[in-house]
Amino acid sequence: MKDDDTVFHALADASRRELLDRLYARDGQTLRELTAGLEMTRQAVSKHLGVLEAANLVVTRRSGREKLHFLNPVPIRLIHDRWIDKYTEHQVTALVDLKTELEENRP
């Protein structure tokens, strides 16, 4: 459960979600690239990236003198499987059954 708490905490901040969206759009960005166009200092972006790394939502790799940041979607998928999927399965199954029944009873 501690991992879930860390991921939820990381996702709770709009600035961190923006950084994840930017990495989703183009993976493997440097701190400078991630900071471009944001109304945050490099230090603030770096701090947010630290929270995302602690939650394992972002992983880094050095390439020469640059540190590249990559999105790791696995923790989000685990949250989905644990907290969303199980609550929607019944409703989705009911809708599929209803659709099938309505289509079979069409005049």
- Exposure on the CB side of residue 54, measured as CA atoms within 13 A: 14
CB atoms within 10 A of CB 65: 6
Give the mean pLDDT of 15-43.
96
pLDDT at res. 94: 84
**HEC per residue, 45-84:** HHHHHHHHHHCCCEEEEEECCEEEEEECCHHHHHHHHHHH
- Higher model confidence: residue 103 or residue 47? 47
Token digits for 59? 């992983």
Averaged confidence pLDDT in the chain: 92
